[in-house]
Amino acid sequence: MTRLLIALFFTLSLFAQTRPIYYLLWFDTEDYVDHASDDAALRLATTLESMGVQATFKVVGEKARRLEKRDRRDVINALARHDIGYHTNLHSIPPAPASYQRILHPLEAIEEFSRREEPGLRDLQRIFGVLPSCYGQPGDSWGPAANVALRRWGVPVYMDDGNQVGLNGQPFWLGGMLYIFNLKGFTLRPDINKPETLPATNRQFNGMVDLLRGKGGVIQTYFHPTEFSATEFWDGVNFLGGAYTPPEGYRMPRRRSPESAEAAYRALFDFVRHVQSIPGVKIITARQAPLLFQDPLQPVAIADARRQFQTSIDIQGPHSAADQLLALLGLPPQYVDGPVARGQSSVNGATLSRMMFDRARLDAIGYIQTHKRLPHTVWAGSERLSLPDFAATLAGDTGSASVEVRKGITAFERHVAADTDKTYGWVIHPRGFAAPELLEQARLQAWTLKPARLR
**pLDDT per residue rounded down to tens, the chain (455 residues):** 444 443 344 344 444 457 899 999 999 999 999 999 999 999 999 999 999 999 999 999 999 999 999 999 999 999 999 999 999 999 999 999 999 999 999 999 999 999 999 999 999 999 999 999 999 999 999 999 999 999 999 999 999 999 999 999 999 999 999 999 999 999 999 999 999 999 999 999 999 999 999 999 999 999 999 999 999 999 999 999 999 999 999 999 999 999 999 999 999 999 999 999 999 999 999 999 999 999 999 999 999 999 999 899 999 999 999 999 999 999 999 999 999 999 999 999 999 999 999 999 999 999 999 999 999 999 999 999 999 999 999 999 999 999 999 999 999 999 999 977 789 999 999 999 999 999 999 999 999 999 999 99
Residues sharing a CB contact under 8 Å with residue 294, sequence separation 6 or more, in sequence order: 318, 452, 453, 454, 455
Strand partners, 23: 219, 283
Please give the pLDDT value at position 422.
80
Please give the pLDDT value at position 17.
53
Q: Phi and psi of 15, rounded to 5°?
A: -65, -45
DSSP state of 438: H
> Coil, strand or helix: which one is 29?
strand
How crowded is residue 105: how many other Cβ atoms within 10 Å of its Cβ?
11
Cα separations in angstroms, 322 against 118, 203, 405: 28, 40, 20
Please give the pLDDT value at position 13.
47
**Cβ atoms of residues 220 and 23 within 8 Å:** yes
Please give the pLDDT value at position 177.
98
Q: How far apart are CA 22 and CA 17, in angstroms?
A: 14
Residues of the chain by 3-state class (helix, strand, coil), percent to 5: 45, 15, 40
Q: Are strands 351-353 and 402-404 parallel, antiparallel or unpaired?
A: antiparallel
Strands (DSSP E) contained in 308-382 are 351-353, 377-380
Please give the pLDDT value at position 205.
98
Strand partners, 313: 410
Q: How far apart are CA 284 and CA 265, in angstroms?
A: 21
Q: How far apart are CA 43 and CA 274, in angstroms?
A: 19
Cα separations in angstroms, 146 against 113, 118, 193: 7, 11, 34
CA 55 to chain centre: 18
Residues sharing a CB contact under 8 Å with residue 168, sequence separation 6 or more, in sequence order: 451
**Cβ atoms of residues 338 and 447 within 8 Å:** yes
Q: Which helix (H) or strand (E) holds 81?
A: none
Q: 337, 383, 432: which is closest to 146 by C-alpha?
A: 337
How crowded is residue 349: how many other Cβ atoms within 10 Å of its Cβ?
9
**Cβ atoms of residues 275 and 23 within 8 Å:** yes
Q: How far apart are CA 197 and CA 108, in angstroms?
A: 48
Residues sharing a CB contact under 8 Å with residue 321, sequence separation 6 or more, in sequence order: 313, 314, 315, 391, 410, 412, 446, 447, 448, 449
Q: How far apart are CA 371 and CA 187, in angstroms?
A: 37
Strand partners, 56: 26, 83
**Structural domains in the chain, sorted by start:** 17-292 (3.20.20.370), 302-334+346-404 (no CATH)
DSSP state of 31: -
Strand partners, 135: 86, 158
Cα separations in angstroms, 81 against 52, 54, 76, 125, 281: 11, 8, 9, 14, 22
Q: Phi and psi of 396, rounded to 5°?
A: -90, 0
